[in-house]
Amino acid sequence: MSQSTQQPSTSRRRLAPAVALVTTLLALVVVGTACSSRSEAAVTADGRTVLRYEGAAGQVGFPELAEALGYYERIELDWIGDNGNGPQSLQNTATGQIDFGSAFNGAVIKAQAGGSPLTGVLASYGSDERTFNGYYVLDDGPIRSARDLIGKKVGMNTLGAHHEFLVREWLAQQGLTADEIARVELIVVPPVNTEQALREGQIDVGTLGGIFRETAVERGGLRPLFTDESLFGSFSYGTYVFRNDFIARNQDAVADFVRGTARAIRWAQTTPRDRVVATFEEIIDGRGRNENTDLVGYWKSPGIAGPGGVVTDQEIRTWLDWLTRNGELDDGALTPADVYTNDHNPYADGTYDPASGPDGQPLQEESK
């Protein structure tokens, strides 16, 4: 990306957290792998491999759903705490603090390019017509186009991840030059504070999704400048990742994780919404983490494009090309095959028809 000779690039300053993350990953992976990366997983008394993971308060992840539905045969999940930050999830996975994590594909690629030994195994989240992130402005405000954002502030939950990539991609698609994009200031604002910051003029665009989008829109006075769904349609943006050494030493466990989680995703894709929400509420009530179920009432859809979380080359190549265009990745340094695999996903390996349900059987009318 080009930059002024008079002052450091604003874009480069914004990207500092992402660059620092990759540097930290590189240093910690070496230490963690050498000392305590736990590439050999713990095993329960009945022979199940224990996979440590991080959850999200008041929400149910697809692995948690898979376990509740009885879709795992060889593994048992061990929740060690909550974390909603994709880059941090990558770091924790790479250093062996957890056995699998989830993050935006662009962040996964940056970590891999920096030497972090991670592989995506199936999709973890995405956007569709019902589940998406919107980039909102005040309804009566002056911002109507991408060019109006030059010199303005866009608030998001973290830098170097999904929202930064999507904002910068939209600005580029709208015809802004690299120098103009660098003049759009991206700042961190916790999701719980985004609506207030936008309404009070502390930021000019606020990133809103899920319950925060629904409640903000209900109160009125906001309109979407664009959404991630408007950019790419139904599209999976993130993947579950494992360390490569963990995959090599625990192949049966990883295969069971992929198969079971794929079936859980497919269950959520093909089951009526009310039943999915009720199941989420039962899981949250039964796991004893002092949570409430308010968030799951705003659940609309899985948001994952491929049946059972099958990943496509395009969902990865989009960000490989983006990083290459922006000078953050050498041309040809990575291919989609280096980033992810669909191995063991029953909806990709011929076990199940991609149009079938979570048990490989034709869908019933209620689910279609």
DSSP per residue, 255-299 = HHHHHHHHHHHHHHHHS-HHHHHHHHHHHHHHS-SS--STGGGG-
Tell me: do 123 and 185 sit in the same domain.
Answer: no
Q: How high is the mean pLDDT of the chain?
A: 89
Q: Does residue 11 lie within any of the structural domains?
A: no
Nearest Cα neighbor of 113 from 179, 190, 23 is: 23
Dist. CA 226–CA 136, nearest whole Å: 7
Tell me: do 319 and 343 sit in the same domain.
Answer: yes
Q: Does residue 4 lie within any of the structural domains?
A: no
Tell me: do 251 and 280 sit in the same domain.
Answer: yes
Q: Does residue 175 lie within any of the structural domains?
A: yes
User: Would you call 20 helix, strand, or coil by DSSP?
Assistant: helix
Tell me: do 340 and 208 sit in the same domain.
Answer: no
pLDDT (tens digit per residue) in 238-252: 999 999 999 999 999
Which residue among 188, 214, 232 closes a domain?
232
Give me the mean pLDDT over the 24-38 stretch: 43
pLDDT (tens digit per residue) in 187-199: 999 999 999 999 9
pLDDT (tens digit per residue) in 33-63: 434 455 578 999 999 999 999 999 999 999 9
316 residue type, one letter:
I
How large a percentage of the chain has pLDDT more than 70?
88
Tell me: do 346 and 216 sit in the same domain.
Answer: no
Report in angstroms the alpha-carbon separations of 169 from 138, 172, 182, 286: 22, 5, 12, 41
Nearest Cα neighbor of 179 from 368, 27, 1 is: 1
Q: Does residue 344 lie within any of the structural domains?
A: yes
Give me the mean pLDDT over the 313-331 stretch: 93
Tell me: do 350 and 266 sit in the same domain.
Answer: yes
- State the pLDDT confidence band at 12, using cuts at 50, 70 and 90: very low
pLDDT (tens digit per residue) in 67-113: 999 999 999 999 999 998 899 999 999 999 999 999 999 999 999 99
Q: Does residue 287 lie within any of the structural domains?
A: yes
Which residue among 201, 232, 263 closes a domain?
232
Q: Does residue 319 lie within any of the structural domains?
A: yes
Beta bridge partners of 282: none
The answer to whether residue 178 scores a pLDDT higher than 80 is yes
pLDDT (tens digit per residue) in 278-290: 999 999 999 999 9
Place of tokens 């004893």: 288
Domain ranges, residue 358: 20-128+234-367
Number of independent structural domains in the chain: 2
Tell me: do 121 and 241 sit in the same domain.
Answer: yes
Q: What is the model's pTM?
A: 0.86
Tell me: do 246 and 354 sit in the same domain.
Answer: yes
Contact 161/87 with Cβ under 8 angstroms?
yes
Which residue among 179, 198, 232 closes a domain?
232
CB atoms within 10 A of CB 325: 14
Tell me: do 82 and 199 sit in the same domain.
Answer: no
Contact 194/206 with Cβ under 8 angstroms?
yes
DSSP code at position 44: -
User: Angle at the Cα of 229 (from 227 to 231), degrees rounded to 5?
Assistant: 80
Beta bridge partners of 29: none
Q: Check residues 50 and 7 and name the one with the higher pLDDT.
A: 50
Dihedral, 167, 168, 173, 176 alpha carbons, nearest 10: 120
Beta bridge partners of 120: 241, 340
Dist. CA 285–CA 278, nearest whole Å: 11
Please give the pLDDT value at position 161: 85
Q: Does residue 155 lie within any of the structural domains?
A: yes
pLDDT (tens digit per residue) in 138-175: 999 999 999 999 999 999 998 888 999 999 999 999 99
Please give the pLDDT value at position 38: 54
Tell me: do 256 and 354 sit in the same domain.
Answer: yes
Nearest Cα neighbor of 154 from 181, 179, 186 is: 186
User: Would you call 172 helix, strand, or coil by DSSP?
Assistant: helix
Give counts: helices (H), strands (E), the chain. Answer: 14, 10
Q: Check residues 19 and 352 and name the one with the higher pLDDT.
A: 352
Tell me: do 187 and 256 sit in the same domain.
Answer: no
Dist. CA 98–CA 213, nearest whole Å: 30
Tell me: do 134 and 256 sit in the same domain.
Answer: no
For residue 272, the domain's CATH number is 3.40.190.10
Please give the pLDDT value at position 84: 80
Exposure class string for 98-123: b at 16+ Cβ within 10 A, else e: bbbbbbbbbbbbbbbbbebbbbbbbb
The answer to whether residue 220 scores a pLDDT higher than 50 is yes
Q: Does residue 7 lie within any of the structural domains?
A: no
